[in-house]
Amino acid sequence: MFLSPIAAQAARLLQELGVEQHMLSGGELAAYSPIDGTQLARLRAHTADDIAAMADRAQQAFIVWRTVPAPKRGELVRLFGNVLRAHKPALGALVTLEAGKILQEGLGEVQEMIDICDFALGLSRQLYGLTMASERPGHGLRETWHPLGPVGVITAFNFPVAVFAWNAALALACGDSVIWKPSEKTPLTALATQALFAHACKEFGDAPGGLLQLVIGGREVGQALANHSLLPLVSATGSTRMGREIAPLLAKRLARALLELGGNNGMILCPSADLDLAVRAILFAAAGTAGQRCTSLRRLFVHEAIYGNVLERLKRAYASIPVGNPLEEGTLVGPLIDRAAYQSMQAALQQAKEAGGAVHGGERVLADRYPDAYYVRPALVEMPQQTELVRHETFAPILYVMRHRDLEQAVRLHNDVPQGLASSVFTTDLREAEFFCSAAGSDCGIVNVNAGPSGAEIGGAFGGEKETGGGRESGSDAWKAYMRRITSTINYSSELPLAQGIVFSAD
Ligand code: UN1
């Protein structure tokens, strides 16, 4: 059978990563590469009916895993991190083939997995609870964190493996089992990750089967996960539309939702900004990953005193940014994920023009070389004001540029969108920097100074407010979402005093 070079490379990588050949053909779900639109595999998809058996298996695994001491659970996560280290080049390249991000970013994504494994390993010895002073004599009061149960993890195409790892590394260290539904656009990197995890389990020795199960499929399997009573938590990363479908299902059965949804991330440039740094940060945040990060920069507010200068510099930088095959060295912007993404980008640019916007770039390129793939020049759009279009997240490399008079006005505009994920200010004025980070400043979950809104490290909690969904994944104390807290009162006296001094006695 003839395989295109991209498909042949994917087949080689999948084999190297331990994915069995028979899983890659004969199914109804086609996996494509956005690099040239070539079909990479056809996978068998699960249906909603498969979820019940998987949930039972996850529950069995959980019952065993929850009693394994946490530092030993951390050992499995450590081994997984080491397997990822050994396979970083192959998995990173597969991320590039399947999601279209440049190789540097594919490798960076695997590094993010390794980093969170290290973090979770340390955490496995630090699942700390508090002890409180009891008001009753001879009593102790304390809290303890226990494993929660099987966790559902739904992830998006744009970070096909890192976001899974944020959730899974923490969940596994915390004593939970995981059922993972990757985007139907990126099932191959998920299969490879599962194979690498199986490798780590083998080295570990006695991990229960079913600690990590993969669900391949679309919307209906995601909904079935949200509906299943054995899953006390579902963590979902993706569009606000997806979150609006999942959240009510969880609310209905009073389960926990950990949501990381759309962003509409802004940057404010103040007159004192270091513009060399700012332009580089803008390029990475707005054009990098072809604008397909949930943290991508989409709105830029430039002080009127520096507007002309900034715009000139940006136009120059945008005109020369290398767009092309993400496997090739030197490329900084790869393809959009698919035709639908291209169409929604073009529709947004059309609307921007109709609303009086001046559009620079944004056109399709390389169509001759890649007729079935969608490469675009990143677009810079000067907008007279923040219209409804600008307030809406379009998952593409479009940067809307607007003017502001002073920081307070800029922050007001910045916050006047439904989303609240990531934000940034460029200033060398301490007062402005601190104001932006203050209670009256940015209303986002991520608030950066002299650094773009994207590219967060794993050590901090990741997520945002408003329509972004309020969840926090990754570092800091995000682990608490994957555990249940018990509060224990221990009476070591021979009396039975009641709290609040209540007397309740028959004699
Ligand atoms: C996402 O796009 O869903 O901060 C995650 C960043 C990355 C993660 C993005 N570390 O841009």
Domains of the chain: 47-261+469-486 (3.40.605.10), 265-459 (3.40.309.10)
Give the up-direction half-sphere exposure of residue 493: CA atoms within 13 A in the CB hemisphere. 11
* Set 174, 201, 294, 444: catalytic member: 294
**What is the percent of the chain where pLDDT is above 90?**
99
From first CA to last CA, the distance across the chain in angstroms is: 90
* Distance in Å, CA 299 to ligand 1 centroid: 17
CA angle centred on 63, ends 214 and 194, rounded to 5°: 20
Mean pLDDT for 131-148 is 98
Rounded CA-CA distance 237/218 in Å is 14
Closest CA to 151 of 447, 470, 482: 482
Nearest CA to ligand 1 atom 6: 455
Active site residue 437: no
How far lies 336's CA from each of 162, 204, 363, in Å? 19, 39, 12
pLDDT tens figures, 313-371: 999 999 999 999 999 999 999 999 999 999 999 999 999 999 999 999 999 999 999 99
φ/ψ of residue 182, rounded to 5: -75, 170
* Set 109, 260, 382, 467: catalytic member: 260
**Strand 265-269 relative to strand 422-426, pairing:** parallel
* pLDDT (0 to 100) of residue 1: 58
* Distance in Å, CA 285 to ligand 1 centroid: 11
Q: Are 217 and 181 in contact (CB under 8 A)?
A: yes
Atom of ligand 1 nearest to the CA of 446: 4
Nearest CA to ligand 1 atom 3: 294
Active site residue 294: yes
* pLDDT (0 to 100) of residue 3: 79
Mean pLDDT for 445-452 is 98
Ligand 1 neighbourhood includes 395 CB (under 6 angstroms): no
Q: Is pLDDT of 507 > 90?
A: no
Give me the numbers of helices (H) and strands (E) for the chain, helices first please. Answer: 15, 23
* Distance in Å, CA 289 to ligand 1 centroid: 10
101, 454, 457, 474: residue to mutate for ligand 1 pocket, most atoms within 8 A of CB = 454
Ligand 1 neighbourhood includes 456 CB (under 6 angstroms): yes
* pLDDT (0 to 100) of residue 455: 96
Compute the chain's Rg from CA coordinates.
25
Mean pLDDT for 108-126 is 98
Task: Using the structure block, give the residue that is written with the tokens 């008079």.
Answer: 405
Confidence of residue 31 (pLDDT cuts 50, 70, 90): very high
104, 113, 166, 294: residue to mutate for ligand 1 pocket, most atoms within 8 A of CB = 294
3-state secondary structure of 22: helix
Burial class (CB in 10 A: 0-12, 13-18, 19+), 150: buried
Residue scoring higher pLDDT (2 or 166): 166
**Strand 422-426 relative to strand 178-181, pairing:** unpaired
* Distance in Å, CA 109 to ligand 1 centroid: 9
* pLDDT (0 to 100) of residue 408: 97
Residues in the chain: 507
pLDDT tens figures, 247-301: 999 999 999 999 999 999 999 999 999 999 999 999 999 999 999 999 999 999 9
* Distance in Å, CA 456 to ligand 1 centroid: 6
Q: Which two tokens stand for residue 180?
A: 């993972």
Q: Are 206 and 240 in contact (CB under 8 A)?
A: no
Confidence of residue 506 (pLDDT cuts 50, 70, 90): confident
